[in-house]
Structure 1
Amino acid sequence: MILLGSLVNGIAIVFGSLLGAVLRNISEQMKDTVTKGIGLGVLVLGIQMAFKTSSFIVIIISLCLGAMLGEAIGIEDKMNDFGLKLEKRYAKPGSNFAEGFVTASLIFLIGSMGIIGAIESGVANNHQTLFTKAVMDGFMSIMLTATLGVGVLFSAVPVFLYQGVIAVSASVLMRYIPKELLDLLMGEISAIGGLMIFAIGLNITGICKIRVSNYLPGILILIGIITVQYYL
């Protein structure tokens, strides 16, 4: 079953979010400390991923061009608007539902583990990477929900769709992509994803506020640049 890994990942987020909702009565001090601990872990993860690049120049160019495109499209605003619509339907007035949905979606979506795991599911029907990611996301969703609310639970939907689309596409397309190009793409995608993960860590710890969603087109731009370079 190609979508098994993505399905398990989504279910883990749902269960973690439900458990986090039960634990919302823990002290604000504990929530703040644990959340910032998650933020520190995310920062370190982002740094580790970022150093996998073989060309920071290409990464920076892709990131900047992606930011320009993302700002022009208004990706961050559209994600927030979507979260606010869900908030009006499912959450109490004045809650941080949208922030929870957007923050959790970005944390669970960005990074090489989801991409590589989905590709493994599609190409080899191997779900071990996504199973590992499911455990990580499940634990993280507990604290995110306890801190940011039930908006985190709804992030399971884009996670399943995102990884599921990659898995299905990989089962068809990856047989036509040279292995050398695929390996190169995975390394660079991991690097640019690492920078975005680092930015998310800064947001979680409260050091600054970065509109991370608007950097997402940079991943597609990076894929285009690397592919052109490979064939030239």
Structure 2
Amino acid sequence: MIIGPYVDAGSVLTGGLAGAAIGVHLPKPLRSTMTSIFGLCSMCMGLLAIMKDATLPVMVLAVILGTLIGELIFLERGIGVIGKHVDILMNRLLPSSGHGGVSGEAFLEQFVAIIVLFCASGTGIFGAMHEGMTGDASILIAKSILDLFTAAFFAAALGYAVATVALPQLAILLILAYLGGYIVPLTNATMQSDFFAVGGVLMFATGLRICGIKSFPVASMLPALVIVMPLSLLWGRLI
């Protein structure tokens, strides 16, 4: 029985609701500091994933081609539009939710980043596929603890819209969990390392964006996760 995706998404939902409810009572410097800390954690987790025994040319090629695909289909813009509509809807349902003083542009910047952080992290993807293959939900359960606090502090600044990220997160993790039993046996260790390395690049870019250092188009980089394993397989056969 698959339980990890439900636990992880439930943590994001709970943390998002709780953080939005108490956000007005938290000092703004604390919210800003903790947001930067979560960005730093994302960069650290990304670095650990990148340091796996990956094929560097495959990782670079996947990121470049994946980002090119994402930009050509306006993926970042599309997710931003969805985020804007979600924000409008939540403000209509809960007029007092607001952004905690965050501007509309900053809201969209961080909202897109947290979608990637919660829905496309290497830990979440691996944890879901691992549970689908072995039945062990420990990775996602451990991740849910971090996600609970991350969602709470982001919601303190961005409002109830953060809680809605639990829905696409649940859908993605469930799909990966059920497909894990079919996909993982078709891969090898090199393909998996390349996949996690690309996920690490996305998490590092997400951390830079959350901290306000550099606004990488992290949503447009998502197709890199789709093409990296086929590229890794092709590279291994040709080189």
Question: TM-score, with normalisation over the residues of structure 2?
Answer: 0.87
Whole-angstrom distance in 1 between the partners of 2:183 and 2:224:
21
Structure 1 position 204, deviation (Å): 1.1
Note closer, same or farther for the CA distance 1:173–1:68 as it changes in structure 2 (3 Å cut).
closer
Q: How does 1:103-142 map to 2 (within 5 A)?
A: 103-142=113-152
> Residue 23 of structure 2 aligns with which residue?
24
Whole-angstrom distance in 2 between the partners of 1:185 and 1:155:
29
1:40 equivalent to 2:4? Answer no
Residue-by-residue CA offset, 1:52-82 (whole Å, 9 max, x unaligned): 1432221111111111110000111111111
Gap regions ≥5 residues in structure 1: none
1:194 equivalent to 2:200? Answer yes
Gap regions ≥5 residues in structure 2: none
Whole-angstrom distance in 2 between the partners of 1:105 and 1:194:
15
Q: Please give the secondary structure, in 2, of the residue aligned with 1:212.
A: coil
Whole-angstrom distance in 2 between the partners of 1:146 and 1:89:
18
Structure 1 position 229, deviation (Å): 3.1
Paired positions, count: 227
Percent identity of the aligned residues?
26
Question: TM-score, with normalisation over the residues of structure 1?
Answer: 0.90
Q: Please give the secondary structure, in 1, of the residue aligned with 2:198.
A: helix
Structure 1 position 100, deviation (Å): 5.0
Note closer, same or farther for the CA distance 1:172–1:190 as it changes in structure 2 (3 Å cut).
closer
Asked if 1 retains the 8 angstrom alpha-carbon contact of 2:36 and 2:210, the reply is yes
Asked if 2 retains the 8 angstrom alpha-carbon contact of 1:17 and 1:142, the reply is yes
Asked if 2 retains the 8 angstrom alpha-carbon contact of 1:101 and 1:154, the reply is no
> Residue 178 of structure 2 aligns with which residue?
168
Whole-angstrom distance in 1 between the partners of 2:199 and 2:184:
21
Q: Kindly report the root-mean-square deviation, in angstroms, between the aligned alpha carbons of the 2 structures.
A: 1.9
Residue-by-residue CA offset, 1:87-118 (whole Å, 9 max, x unaligned): 22222597456455422211112232112211
Whole-angstrom distance in 2 between the partners of 1:173 and 1:24:
41
Whole-angstrom distance in 2 between the partners of 1:53 and 1:78:
34
